[in-house]
Structures are given as C-alpha cells and as structure tokens.
Chains A and B, each alone.
Chain A
Amino acid sequence: MTVSTKPSLLEMEAIAARHPHLLQSSSTKRLKTALIGIGVLLYLVFSWWFFSIGHVLANANWGIAGTYLADWVSYEVRPEIAIAADGTMALSYARNSPLGPNPNPDWVTLEKKTVTRTIEAPAAAQASKPKGSSSFNFMAPNAALGDNQTVQAPNRIETRSEEVVTRALIAFDRSTSIEVASGVVTATHGGETLVMTVDGADTATPQGPLPRWARQKRPGEKITLSFGLTGWAEVEGDEVSIRNRFFGWANFLFDTNSPFFGKPYGEVASLIFSGERIDPARSNLSLAWNNILYNAEWQHLDVWTKLLQTVIMAFVGTLFASLIAFPLCFLAARNITPNFFANQLTKRFFDFLRSVDMFIWALFFTRAFGPGPLAGISAIFFTDTGTLGKLYSEALENIDDKQREGVKSVGATPIAVQRFGVLPQVLPVFASQALYFWESNTRSATIIGAVGAGGIGLKLWEAMRTNSDWENVAYMVLLILVVVFIFDSISNALRTRLMGRKTH
C-alpha cells in the first residue's frame, strides 16, 4: 500500500489554520518587501529617463560595434578598383595597408593589356606624384626636398599607351567572389549571384532583385555588399571598394618596412640562422630582433616598457606606502599609544590621504612631476598610505594582549615589547595586506595611466581614441591580463604561505 506524501488541500488548510503564525508574515514585513521592490523599480525608470538610455541605445551604431570587435583579432586589406568611363580600370590599395605599400595578394587576379588612350592629363606635377609611400612616413618622400610645384599647368589632352586592367577577379573565399569586367560587376555569395552595371560615372544599377546580403538606399547610389566575417564591398558608379578581412595580425612581428615581412616562418628562421647578412653592419638575428622591437605598427618595445612602468608603479608605490604606514600605525592604534590626540591625528591623516581619491592625487602629481611613472608612484603611495595605515592600525587593535603582557612582565624596554610582543602577531597580516594591494594596484595603475600618470593606460587610451587600432588594444589588454594573472598568483601563493590556507 502506498501512502501519498502530498497532503490534500483540505489537510493543508487544516494545518494552516492550526499554525497561522508560520504562514502569515507580519503585514509590515510584507509591505516592506513590496516597497523596496517598487522603490528599485521606480529608480530604474527614473534612471532610464535621467540618462535617456533608450534614446542613446537607439542612436548607437551597433554595426560599428561588430567591426570594432572584429578589428581586435583580424585585419582588412582594402583594394579599390577605379572604373573609367571607357570601362578600363585601375587597382590601388588604401594607404596604411597591413600588407605594405605594394601588396600583390594571390586572391586578386588581374588581366591587363596595353591600350592607347586619349585622356585629359592634369598638370605634370601630379603625374610624377610618388605613389604608395610607406604608411609610416609623416611626410611624402619629396616633401623634404622642397620641390613643390606650385605652378598650375593647364590640363591638356594627351594620347598615350598604357597598361590598364581589363578584368579583375577578387576571391574572398570559396563561395564569395567579385568580378569586375567591362562595366559589369558580378558578385557571388552563398550560391547567389548579383550582376550590377556601372557606368564609370555615378550610377550603379543592379540587374534583377537584390539578394539578402546587398543593400541600396536609392536607385543609382552605391550598393553595399556584406559577406559577414570575411568582409564587405561597396559598388559605386566609378569605384568598387573591397574590404577583405583576414583573421590574425599580419604585421605583428615585422612591419612592412622590414626585410623579413611577409616571409613564412621557416624562411625567416633559415635567414636568421644561416642566411646572408641583409644588413652588412650586423647579424640577421640582431636585425630581426631590432625590427621586432621597433615595429612601427605595434611598437613592441614601447608597449613592454609602459607595461613594466605600470608594474613598477604598483610595486614601488605599495612598498613605500607600507614602509610609511608601518611606524605610523603604531601611533594610530589605541592600545599601543594611549595618547588620544596622537591617535586621532594619525587616523585623520590616514583618512585624508585615503579620501582624496587616487585619481585626484594622480592629476596633482602629474602637474608636479610631469607625466610619467613618478606621478603614478606618488599617487599610489599617497592613497595606499592611508588605506594600509588604517588596516594596519585595526590589525594592531585586534591583537592578543597576553603576549605583550608576557614580554612586559620580564622587564623589556618598550621597543622590545613591540618587537617580541606585538610584531610576530601582526607581521603576517601586514605583509598579506601589502601583497593584496600590490596586486590590486597593478590593475588600478592602468586607469590612472589614462590621465597621464605613466604606465600602459595612456597608450591604451590613445589606441582606443583613434578607433582604428583595436588590434593594438587587444594586444595590450592581453598583456595586462597576463601580468595581472601572474601577480595575482604570486601574491596569492605568498599570502597563503604567510597566513595559512584559511584567510585569503
């Protein structure tokens, strides 16, 4: 026979009637919960209005978000195909191309032929304009020579023969490609094909309906093709812009000016260890190392130096803070120094150091010492003296008095009482707190760096402000996370040894 463990409704009511105090909480308590809930809800509604969150979110450009996120881990190569009215084309790459000034990637196939054209040639100066200067020069190569040709030659009609591109095929991946030939752009993506005619001036017309991945706002205007993660393209009347996206960081080790750029790793290794000297002045190994350190795009040496600055700021700042807080905390502790005024004075001093924020100290010291790690060290030092001093004096006030009495009872001097009666109890706590702050300051030093107090913060901030160097941001964030993780582990291990497993 089975007995149902679930009481029937009647039984439940009977039980409820017998023990009303268990089931009915007091009305004030129920009201309190409801009131808190309503309060929080009202606050959220108020904040929604206060920050006009809905408006901001609606105006946000979430498409950019995707591009930025993709930029963290990938790079784009941007060939542009200019289409002339007679159907001929010219292919160029955007400045700052990660593949260097003259890339010739294998996913671009060009058919060229030499034709005789009659064109309106602008002034001669423009014809001699250097093309594809390195992206890292601030000046055009000719600028320093001072050959500015300010004389405006009139445009003249000229007939000459030149090599032009008649057909260009850009293969994004196996299912996506764009072909440009004689005024017709053919895009293929995911099994669908879109044919567009371009007139070499300002209208682009799709033939047939637009597939899902193509968009055109008004007839004749540019057509945007999005191929998801692999890239996108824009077709205009006189230009086809390709944005082909690749996973990874192309010039992470060697920038495009380096002789090692673009070579496979095996070849670089063999060049370094057994190749001819590229630069006769030094070995290939030192050349390669130098090229990595001074990589113009990634600035490895600079980033590492700034990271070291951050670590050092946290280390020196916390060390000095604990050294200064150590003697002061004895003054602040009620049980060690019975003098009320000395107690209050030191405690308020700690409060002052602590409550002026680290950020304000950082701004202050940036003005005093100029931007750099000294400002950061001083800011951390000042704030942490306050915090550590407070924590240390609290630790002192919590000590067991028996040890002190024991040492005192054998007639020890006051210094000896502190040394043997107090220190052994609090030293592990002190060290553990200092270690904890060292580790946590490694994190906060990133933020005060952004206002000029040295360290990697400013570099990180600059990379983000330009909105184009998100891969550098990713690199620096990765380095910061690794460093924080390492110091976290070191500080945890040391603290466990000092304090035992229980406290952390």
Chain B
Amino acid sequence: MATSVLSRQLSESGALVERHWQELNARRRLYTLLGLALLVLTLCASLWFANDSNAGKFFDRLPHFFDFVGDLVPRDAMEIVRAMFDLPSPYDDGSFKYNYTDGRLYLTESLYIPEYFHKMLETVNIAIFSTVVGVFFGFILSFLAARNLMPNPWIRGPVRRLMEILRAFPEVVIAGFFLAILSLGPIPAIAAVSIHTIGALGKLFFEVVENADMKPEEGLRAVGANWIERVWFGIVPQVLPNFTSYFLLRLEINVRASTIIGAVGGGGIGELLRLAIGQGHEAKTIAIVILLFTTIFAVDQFSAWLRRRLVGDQAFQLAQ
C-alpha cells in the first residue's frame, strides 16, 4: 500500500504523526461502525415491534396493498363528477351512497353550491380565520419575547414558555376539549388551530425581531419615543415583510391542519372524507380527494408566489 511505503521513508516525528493519524482514523471508523450497528439494531427492533403490534402483519397484508385502490374504482367515471357537483346519479337506489343531491346549499331557487365545495370553503375559511387570530396574538407576544426589545427576563421568560406550551400541546386534545363544550362544529377546530398557530408563529416572529436592525429603534429612543412607539415605528416596518411571509407559510400548513381536525369532528371537509372512506363510497372519496388536492395545491402555489414577491427565496425554509 502506498501509505506503508511512504511511512517507511518518514522521519521519526513524521512517523509519530502518521501513526497518530492512523489511530484517530481507526477510532473514528470504529465509532461510525458502532453508531451504524446501533442504528440498524434499533431499526430492526422498531420494525419488529411495529409489525407485531399492528392489526395486520406486513407480509400478510402486502398482497392486499392495492385493495384499497381497487375499492376506489367507481362504477363509471362520471360518478366522480356527479359526486363533486351534487348531480343526481342514475344508480340512485335511495341509499346513503348515492345521495349526492342531498347536501346542496341553495342560494336561490335553482342556483346551489355543491356540498363538497361548500365544506371545502368552510375548511379554508377555518384555516384563514385561525391564522388571522394566531397572527394577531403571535404578533403581540413576539415583541414581548424578543431579547432586544424586552430586556426584562421576568416577562420574556414566561411569554416564551407560554408559546412553547401552546405549540407543543397536541391539537387533537385542544379540539377534543372544545368539542366537549361547544359540541360539533368548526369552532373547536378554529380554537385548536389558532392556539397552535400562536405558539408556532410567535417563535418565528420573535426570531425575526431579534435579528432586526436596532438603529431605527435607537433613533426613536433618542427623540423620546415610548416603548410602543419604538416598536411600531422602529421595528414593525422592518419585520413586516418577513412576518407576512411567515403568515402565508402558516396559512398553507393550517389548510392541512384544519382538514385533519375536521376528520376528528371539527367540521369541514375532513369529516366528510373520513365518512366517505370509512363507508367505502368510492365516488365520493375520489371527488373529495381531488378537491382537497386541488385546493392545497392552489393555496401552496399562491402563497409561494406571494412570498417570493415579498421577500425573495430566503423565506422558503420550512417551519413547523
């Protein structure tokens, strides 16, 4: 080997360095191998555990993997369109499966909004409304949590802890709690999503505020502005583009979140989707999935376009 040939020609100190380097290398390799072995071991144990505690076993179920896709084929392609636009179905036998026309929301005598569009609108509206509420409170809290604007740790600390708790608390639990009090409907979903949004956006916001240029604030301080004036005229104009970008990012995430909360009883399209899948109504399921897919895609694209216009590509980091 080349190194061994080389090492024979090395001086005494050179050989020492060489040997030391070899040792370090060997040790690093050992650690990497050990780490990998540990990872593989954990992975195998995890897989075994997951497979063992699952209702169906992986290899038993694998041949049935596409059963669900097979179940999703409707009687004819037009059924999907009928389900989506609430048109009467020729297969209608009075059962729940083909009651497409039932959910129409009549605006006038003959003009109606199809049920799924109406529910999708509700879901999107839940997302927008709770994002607005979340942004409002997150906006206020972020200035109280930023180190550069709030040197008092007795205010900053509790505000940060509060946001952490709001963020970490499972959304399902908040939704479930409000469902128990307010009964079914979109308001529990709004509460759950906006509480989470306050925590998540508050964190992103105060990090932006901490990175803001403090010179305008100093200028305002020099002319005797009070705290609110300093924040409003010195900091807010700087951070507003970033805030707006995060607002849009959160809106994307919340459209998904409100769908999920809907499925556990929070109103909107999620509930219908879960029902359609649970009862095996193929045309309804496909109609809802298409609608959901289109909406999420549209919201993503729109907000990405708007964000790019606002702050450029740097706003495309992911945030949870």
Contacts and interface: CB of A to CB of B under 8 A. Distances in A.
A415 B99 CA distance: 59
A44 B260 CA distance: 23
Q: Is the interface of A mostly helix, strand, loop or mixed?
A: helix
B50 interface: yes
Given A370-B56, A391-B318, A485 B176 contact: no
Q: Is the interface of B mostly helix, strand, loop or mixed?
A: helix
B172 A450 contact: yes
A464 interface: yes
A374 interface: yes
Interface string B242-282: 00000000000000100110011000001001100100000
Interface in B153-180: 168-173, 176-177, 179-180
Interface stretch (A59-67, A190-198, A271-279): A59-67
B187 interface: yes
Interface in B117-132: 122, 125-126, 128-129, 132
Contacts of B198: none
B165 to A, nearest CB: 8
B250 to A, nearest CB: 14
A483 B66 CA distance: 35
Contact of A312 (B49, B176, B190, B277): B49
Contacts of A43: 128-129, 132
Interface in A439-463: 440, 443, 446-448, 450-451, 454, 457, 460-461
Contacts of B277: 363, 367
B53 interface: yes
Nearest to A364: B68
A64 B172 contact: no
A359 B50 contact: no
Interface in A340-385: 355-360, 363-364, 367-375, 377
Interface in B14-68: 39, 42-43, 46-47, 49-51, 53-56, 58, 61, 64-68
A38 interface: no
B135 to A, nearest CB: 10
Contact of A372 (B50, B169, B263): B50
A270 interface: no
Contact of B129 (A51, A57, A373, A467): A51
A465 B177 CA distance: 9
Interface string B172-210: 110011011111011100100000000000000000000
B176 A465 contact: yes
Contact of A368 (B47, B51, B67, B318): B67
Interface stretch (A82-90, A154-162, A313-321, A327-335): A313-321
Given A51-B187, A370-B55, A457 B172 contact: yes
A53 B185 CA distance: 10
A387 interface: yes
Interface string A482-503: 0011000000000000000000
B293 interface: yes
A484 to B, nearest CB: 5
B53 A440 contact: no
Contacts of A484: 168
Nearest to A313: B50
A225 interface: no
Contacts of B43: 316, 319
A355 B300 CA distance: 9
Nearest to B289: A360
Interface in A54-108: 56-57, 59-62, 64-65, 68
12 contacts: A43-B129, A56-B182, A59-B182, A68-B180, A316-B46, A357-B296, A364-B68, A368-B68, A374-B56, A387-B318, A447-B260, A460-B172
Interface of B: 39, 42-43, 46-47, 49-51, 53-56, 58, 61, 64-68, 71, 122, 125-126, 128-129, 132, 168-173, 176-177, 179-183, 185-187, 190, 256, 259-260, 263-264, 270, 273-274, 277, 289, 292-293, 296-297, 300, 316, 318, 320
Given A51-B187, A370-B55, 20 more contacts: A43-B132, A61-B181, A65-B181, A316-B43, A316-B47, A316-B50, A355-B297, A357-B256, A363-B277, A368-B68, A369-B54, A373-B53, A443-B168, A443-B170, A446-B172, A447-B171, A451-B274, A461-B176, A477-B170, A485-B168
